[in-house]
Structure 1
């Protein structure tokens, strides 16, 4: 690697980490606004995001997996699920042949609230993504998956310390 490339890699590392931190912070502000508007706790938002992402992947969470994902005890997870279910945000579903297995799904009312709140953001993000071709978006996807993996691994180390 020549000196200029090494310096540029160091500059990009700093800039990309700063940009990721800024994005995370700004996204949290939006999440907090949604939570405040709908009288939810920050933990509720983390839970709802985890449920939504799991549903999108086609692998709905069980209460135990939700607790693991957001770092709660089983008792705290049950209280959280009960609260979100009462508020119309989540529903419990028994979908497997083993009726003891409970999956968590977004409730229709909760999904409607989320869609109405976040809908104005979609055209803004679509506009940004339209500036990149598919190959560039695939590189960005690979980069973000790697960065998320590194943060999750560190988070798990901190939990187990």
Structure 2
């Protein structure tokens, strides 16, 4: 078979990595009685907390591309499992803020912690120039994927 070239080899590796990460996420979801959307919601809420951005049901729904009924169903499941809390915003009692519980963090760290630790060690072993190249590449690919996802959602 002909060599597909470095560009296609990289695309194939990214696709294979995506499949493996999806399978790993599905195993975590199954093990913890979660729907795949529940896991995506937890990740979105953890990202918001890390960024210091208030997480609201509306914001979560937009990120997950769910209507309000779908978002409520996800939040109800996660709350029932003790993985998410809904708190009133102390500055605006009409607004609900979402928070991931310590139980959810512990479950995630117990399952994904070793993978994250090994990946962090790998990245920290790179030179600053190599890290910059990897980070730039990943940011560019993320932009390309986001653009195509937006086009797919529109059409």
* TM class, shorter-length: 0.7 to 0.9
Distance of aligned partners of 1:157 and 1:133 in 2 relative to their CA distance in 1, 3 Å threshold: same
For residue 120 of structure 1, report the CA deviation from its aligned partner: 2.1
Q: Shift of residue 134 of structure 1?
A: 2.2
How many residue pairs get aligned? The number is 152
Match of 1:75 in 2: 69
- Provide TM-score, normalisation by structure 1: 0.85
Give the Å deviation of 1:76: 0.6
Question: 2: distance between equivalents of 1:55 and 1:135?
Answer: 29
Pick the structure with more strand per residue.
Answer: 2
Deviations 1:21-74 (A, max 9, x none): 111111111111110100101111111111112221221321111111111111
**Inter-partner Cα distance in structure 1 for 2:141 and 2:41:** 21
Alignment partners' CA distance in 2, 1:137 and 1:96: 41
**2:145 matched to 1:145?**
no
- In the alignment, structure 1 segments of 5+ residues that lack a partner are 1-9
Q: In structure 1, the residue corresponding to 2:126 is in which secondary structure?
A: coil
Q: Match of 1:126?
A: 120
Instruction: Please give the root-mean-square deviation of Cα atoms over the aligned residues, in Å.
Output: 1.8
Corresponding position: 1:100 with 2:97: no
- SS state at 2:95 partner: coil
